[in-house]
Structure 1
Amino acid sequence: MSDRLPGFSTLAVHAGAQPDPTTGARATPIYQTTSFVFNDADHAASLFGLQSFGNIYTRIGNPTNAVLEERVAALEGGTAALAVASGHAAQVVVMQQLLQPGDEFIAARKLYGGSINQFTHSFKSFGWNVVWADPDDIASFERAVTPRTKAIFVESIANPGGSITDIEAISTVARKAGVPLIVDNTLATPYLIKPIDHGADIVVHSLTKFLGGHGNSIGGVIVDAGTFDWSKDGKYPMLSEPRPEYHGIKLHETFGNFAFAIACRVLGLRDLGPALSPFNAFLILTGIETLPLRMQKHCDNAKAIAEFLSGHSAVASVSYAGLAGDRYNQLARKYAPKGAGAVFTFSLKGGYDAGVSLVSKLTLFSHLANVGDTRSLVIHPASTTHSQLDDAAKVKSGAGPDVVRLSIGIEDKEDLIADLDQALGA
């Protein structure tokens, strides 16, 4: 047997999967069941007591989901992963393990509008408080640290503007503060950026986007890097203190470098319940098999379209890190040398009204609230995804009134350019 480590494309097809031992099926089966039979009473007791691994109930774990979890963990370079019902669910489950009522976490201002809304409003009901920092000003993260800070959260490639985050610099701030760095890697995927290699302790994804890639399934995933010492200073009692639900087990002491993924499963997923459907896991697994091929095509198309838009008379500016003159180009070269992603924004000279008008005139681009599809997508964030923000907050998050967001698909770039050209001309 060779000692060669499999490459990324090989892992995208094979990681976590084996032929079904009963039927010989080569594709991972959909285990569409609620529950699993125990061998005997002792087996059942050992599963419920975390003394052995196995299947109990699909809300907690499922064999189809397990293949997905192992595959994403392998692609990201983590120790373990947990699949959940959506990207938003992943964020709730992560924070439940880290924060107690009254605690704070620092988040980059440049985030998906739904995350801004979740952090600002929904998390307040748990007593979790967000403190905002500017990803273009690393010192703002340092200034935001207080004794109540328990985590830092950023996106590797920010939605909607496509800006590249200096993960290593923010990781240094997190290390100094003694808190984990959480990176949402949805727009980059591990094909373009591996946040763990740059100091991330936890990685989250909306599987709905580029990993699944076909706009047919909603899901989320949490990846444990296995790099953080959860027992060091008592900041994280969910992991370091005895758990009464499990006869006094200390999760970090017992499970070591995959303790965070275990905590998310046996404390978060078990009790909050945002389970991923095995059918959705199957569809997302199928999508991941072509991730390297799709992402390269996405990026190549996006660069060509950004170059076209940057020379169009109706366009005021283009924000795409893959362009040589973009302010994030150097960071893109460092963190994402294979491509700067497929989601970016541009500003129209006609302002808000021009943005609203443009999306109605495109025919090949689909006007909807998603990214990461094989199909090219368009949206006007100020009137949709970021509409809950005031004007100042829209601008700070990269979703000003004149901004249009594109998610570039894998169609022929010439057809996409022609569609944009006719809509801009109209």
Structure 2
Amino acid sequence: MSEAPQYGFDTLQVHAGARPDPATGARQTPIYQTTAYVFRDADHAAALFNLQEVGYIYSRLTNPTVSVLAERIATLEGGVGGICCSSGHAAQIMALFPLMGPGRNVVASTRLYGGTVTQFSQTIKRFGWSARFVDTDDLDAVRAAIDEDTRAIFCEAIANPGGYITDLDALAAIADAAGLPLIVDNTTATPYLCRPFDHGATLVVHSTTKYLTGNGTVTGGAVIDSGRFDWSASDRFPSLSAPEPAYHGLKFHETFGPLAYTFHSIAVGLRDLGMTMNPQAAHYTLMGIETLSLRMQRHVENAVRVASWLEAHPKVEAVTYAGLPSSPWHDRVARICPKGAGALFTFALKGGYEACVKLVDSVNLFSHVANLGDTRSLIIHSASTTHRQLTPEQQVAAGAAPNVVRLSIGIEDAADIIADLEQALAKV
């Protein structure tokens, strides 16, 4: 028997998870706009509800369109399975949900999207969880932050807003030594630029709203499992290793093996939290992923040109882009993100806060929006918007100081992007 072909990334981003519709032959994945699914008979229904058979029950749990998207992202990431949900923020809660409990904590990087810092520092307290923020370049600080109540380490592969690249191999080694999962937000890198599982990560989360969809039309999130973590190695993760009362004492890890986390996230997480992605959003994201590699190549190419131009501008104090040889994290690009350092970065203006505001108000081609990863070039002053809820110290630690502007470089002509920044900087 011949082995299945090993397809390349460009092929998988078009085909993974998708098959012609068995009912109609439709080649593009249909939008299954339905709430519920008809059971064959009473025994079929009972088997589905008892997790003895895989199938569709109710679209809060699974939907054929959304399932294709989950399988496609998992394939591109090199994972065994995953779930899609309503937003990137929902994905973060879903990622932590099977791991955490009252009194438990997560060790998190200080270099995170401002909304994530707020979610981890404030909102999760309502669940009795807590977060310990550390500079993940200080590996001793990471080790020191871990205690008997720690249940995960969390970071971003390419951090928002500054484009900082995390040393995933080093964090994975610490997590492995402590018997903990490493959760990596891969939103700004995408699996085209970085595959965290290749560096020892356990789980990957995405805001599919960004580069995966790529067109600024829908929100969504995903949690992908590597399938490699031993959830039964200790008693720290009872949701996965201990009997589940809602399923007559079923033990997810014992029963489902590498797919334990994925099945739990569907059968318990989506069942009870209901952070469900709708099928139309999944459809838009599937179409976006078909051109992911092509877009990311152009994003990176443009980002290098724009960052290099900004670095030489007399009104610019500094540029954070890791793709520049001057970046302190440039040596990580070849190892962590071999196809490029992404297209998200910040730059500091010598004129400070007021100069940043004037710049943002003077651009024409750039769109002033609270988003990233669009085909369009985007700009925002993080300190007064996305990171506004943070303290001044947290803003600086996250790379969003008051004199800093964040750019998400699109796929337009690079000369036009630079020309727009040039005319705006002339007014500062």
TM-score, shorter chain, exceeding 0.5: yes
The residue that corresponds to 1:205 in the other structure is: 206
1:377-404 Cα distance to aligned partner (Å, 9 max, x none):
0000000000111111110110000000
Q: Give distance in 1, aligned partners of 2:327 and 2:334.
A: 11
SS of equivalent to 2:98? helix
Structure 2 residue aligned with 1:52: 53
Give the Cα–Cα distance (whole angstroms) in 1 for the partners of residues 191 and 385 of structure 2: 28
Give the match's secondary structure for 1:333: helix
TM-score where L is the length of structure 1 = 0.99
Q: CA deviation at 1:137?
A: 1.1
Shift of 1:261: 1.1
Name the counterpart of 1:135. Answer: 136
Displacement of 1:2 in angstroms is 6.5
Matches of 1:210 and 1:139, distance apart in 2: 33
Provide the residue aligned with 1:24 in structure 2. 25
Q: CA deviation at 1:364?
A: 0.3
Q: Which amino acid aligns with 1:116?
A: V
Counterparts of residues 12-411 of structure 1 (less than 5 Å): 12-411=13-412
Question: How far apart, CA to CA, are the structure 2 residues paired with 1:3 and 1:69?
Answer: 21
CA offsets 1:168-215 (integer angstroms, 9 cap, x no match) = 000111011111000000000000000000000000000000001110
1:325, distance to aligned residue in structure 2 (A):
1.2
Kindly provide the amino acid, as one letter, of the partner of residue 259 in structure 2: F
Percentage of pairs with the same residue: 55
Of residues 45-54 and 88-97 in structure 1, the stretch that sits farther from structure 2 once superposed is: 88-97
Hey, what's the Cα distance between the residues in 1 that align with 2:353 and 2:259?
Answer: 47
How far residue 3 of structure 1 moved from its aligned partner, in angstroms, is: 4.0
Q: How far does the alpha carbon of each residue in 1:34-59 deviate from its partner, in whole angstroms, 9 at most, with x for none?
A: 00000000000000000000000000
Aligned to 2:12: 11
Cα deviations across residues 23-78 of structure 1 (Å, max 9, x unaligned)?
11000000000000000000000000000000000000000001001100000000
What residue ranges of structure 1 are gaps of 5+ in the alignment?
A: none
Secondary structure of the residue aligned to 1:205 is strand
Matched residues in 2 for 1:297 and 1:65: separation?
Answer: 28
Q: C-alpha separation between the residues in 2 aligned to 1:246 and 1:394?
A: 45
> Structure 2: how far apart are the matches of 1:317 and 1:251?
50
Aligned to 2:424: 423
Other structure's SS at 2:374 match: coil
Of stretches 327-336 and 33-42 in structure 1, the one that deviates more from structure 2 is: 327-336
* Pairs aligned (count): 426
2: CA distance between counterparts of 1:81 and 1:131? 26
Per the TM alignment, residue 4 of structure 1 is displaced from its structure 2 partner at its CA by 3.0
In the alignment, the residues of structure 1 paired with residue 237 and residue 269 of structure 2 have an alpha-carbon distance, to the nearest angstrom, of: 14
**TM superposition shift of 1:286:** 0.2
- Partner SS state of residue 71, structure 2: helix
In 2, Cα distance between the equivalents of 1:383 and 1:135? 25
Task: State how far apart, in whole Å, the 1-side matches of 2:272 and 2:5 are.
Answer: 41
User: 1:87 offset after TM fit, Å?
Assistant: 0.7
For structure 2, the 5+ residue unaligned runs are none
TM-score under structure 2 length normalisation: 0.99
- Structure 2 CA distance for aligned equivalents of residues 341 and 140 of structure 1: 27
Q: Which amino acid in structure 2 is aligned with residue 176 of structure 1?
A: A
TM-superposed deviation, 1:342? 0.5
Q: Secondary structure at the match of 1:97?
A: coil
Q: How far, CA to CA, are the matches of 1:418 and 1:215 in structure 2?
A: 24
Spell out, residue by residue over 1:293-316, the C-alpha distance to the aligned partner (whole angstroms, 9 max, x if none): 000100000000000000101100
Pick closer, same or farther for the CA change 1:361–1:152 going to 2, 3 Å: same
- Quote the Cα distance in structure 1 between the aligned partners of 2:392 and 2:106: 24
